Amino acid sequence: AQAQTHTCRAPFEVFADPLGNAHFSREQTRDYAYHKVPGPLTVTVKPAAPAHIRCTLRNSPGEGRPAIAVIAVEDAYQNPISDTAFDIALFPEQGENTSPSQTVKTKRRAGVHVPIPSVGAGVSRLGASCWPHGIYGVSNPLHPDFFGPNLKVYFGDLHVMTGSHGNLRMDGTTESAIRYARDVFGLDFTAVTNGPNPKLWPHDRDLFKAYHKDHRFVTMPAYENGLSTGHKNVYFPSEPEQVRPARTAEDLWKVLKNTECMVISHHTNTPSETDPEKSWSHHQIDTINPRFERLVEICQNRGSFEKDEIGDEVTLGGFGSSIRDILARGLRLGFVGGTDSHRGRPGSPYSNQSGMDARAHITGGITGVLCKELTRQEIWNALLARRCYAATSTRILLDVTLNGLTMGRDFRLTKKNKNRFAERTIRIRAVGVRPLTRVVIVRNGQEVFEQALDQTECDLVWQDTERLGKIHDRHIRGAYYYAKVYQQDGNLAWSSPVWLSFTP
Q: Render pLDDT for 17-50 as a digit per residue (tens, 0 to 9).
A: 777 766 555 555 666 778 888 877 777 888 999 9
More confident residue, 101 or 327: 327
For the stretch 434-447, pLDDT in tens is 999 999 999 999 99
For the stretch 150-192, pLDDT in tens is 999 999 999 999 976 665 567 789 999 999 999 999 999 999 9
Q: Give the confidence band of 326 by pLDDT, cuts at 50, 70, 90.
A: very high
Q: Which long-range contacts (CB under 8 A, 24 or more apart) does 206-215 make?
A: 207/174, 207/175, 207/178, 208/239, 209/239, 211/175, 211/178, 211/179, 211/182, 212/376, 214/374, 214/375, 214/376, 215/61, 215/62, 215/65, 215/373, 215/374, 215/375
Q: Mean of the pLDDT values across residues 457-461? A: 97
Q: HEC string of 296-357?
A: EEEEECCEECCCCCCECCECCCCCCCCHHHHHHCCCCCEEEECCCECCCCCCCCCCCHHHCC
pLDDT above 90 for 332: yes
15-16 and 35-36 as β-strands: parallel, antiparallel, unpaired? antiparallel
Q: According to the model, what pLDDT value does residue 395 have?
A: 98
Q: Return the ∠ at Cα 210 (arms to 234 and 262), rounded to 5°.
A: 15
For the stretch 381-409, pLDDT in tens is 999 999 999 999 999 999 999 999 999 99
Q: Give the confidence band of 1 by pLDDT, cuts at 50, 70, 90.
A: very low
Q: Mean of the pLDDT values across residues 417-432? A: 96
Q: Give the confidence band of 12 by pLDDT, cuts at 50, 70, 90.
A: confident
Q: According to the model, what pLDDT value does residue 25 have?
A: 53
pLDDT above 80 for 109: no
For the stretch 122-139, pLDDT in tens is 999 999 999 999 999 999
Q: Give the confidence band of 97 by pLDDT, cuts at 50, 70, 90.
A: low
Dihedrals φ, ψ of 373, to 5°?
A: -150, 165
Q: According to the model, what pLDDT value does residue 432 have?
A: 98
Q: Mean of the pLDDT values across residues 335-361? A: 90
Q: Give the confidence band of 101 by pLDDT, cuts at 50, 70, 90.
A: low
DSSP state of 203: H
Neighbours of 315 (CB within 10 A): 18
Residue (of 367, 376, 286) closest to 326 by Cα position: 286
Q: What integer best gives the mean pLDDT of the chain?
A: 91
- Report the alpha-carbon distance of residue 380 to residue 222 in Å, rounded: 12
Q: Give the confidence band of 354 by pLDDT, cuts at 50, 70, 90.
A: confident
For the stretch 45-82, pLDDT in tens is 889 999 999 999 999 999 999 999 999 999 998 999 98
More confident residue, 21 or 320: 320
For the stretch 248-287, pLDDT in tens is 999 999 999 999 999 999 999 998 876 666 678 899 999 9
CA distances from 256 to 223, 246, 418 (A): 13, 10, 38
What does the longest C-alpha to C-alpha distance in the chain come to? 86
Q: Mean of the pLDDT values across residues 460-479? A: 95
Q: According to the model, what pLDDT value does residue 279 have?
A: 79
Q: According to the model, what pLDDT value does residue 375 have?
A: 98
Give the whole-number percent of the chain exceeding pLDDT 90.
76
Question: Alpha-carbon torsion 289, 290, 293, 298, what sign?
Answer: positive
